[in-house]
């Protein structure tokens, strides 16, 4: 296995990891922004107010996107099995 193959595997791994984390990070960012705007408008500076909605939103998004995440992870696994089978030849 050459250095370019290792770099291609590493790039695929990082892209898949970023793709899988995107829904949860996006939901956390969006809910955090909305709660921050709400806190600024109402002058409520409670720390748990920003944490609890984020936690719930990320949990819901993870449950909703679970089938898609499993398909992406399965595709990555199959690509890696194919690469390792080619390298073993």
Entry field: residues in the chain:
89
Calculate the alpha carbon distances from 13 to 25, 37, 54, 76, 82 in Å: 18, 36, 27, 8, 14
- pLDDT tens digit at each of 89 positions of the chain: 788 888 999 999 999 999 999 999 999 999 999 999 998 898 888 877 888 899 999 999 999 999 999 999 999 999 999 998 888 87
Is the whole-model pTM more than 0.85? Answer: no
């Amino acid at each position: 296995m050459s250095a370019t193959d290792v770099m291609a595997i590493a790039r695929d791994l990082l892209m898949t990891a970023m793709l899988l984390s995107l829904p949860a990070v996006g939901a956390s960012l969006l809910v955090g922004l909305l709660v921050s705007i709400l806190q600024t408008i109402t002058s409520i500076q409670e720390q748990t107010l920003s944490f609890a909605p984020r936690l719930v939103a990320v949990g819901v998004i993870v449950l909703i996107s679970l089938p898609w995440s499993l398909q992406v992870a399965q595709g990555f696994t199959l690509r890696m099995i194919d690469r390792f089978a080619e390298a073993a030849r």
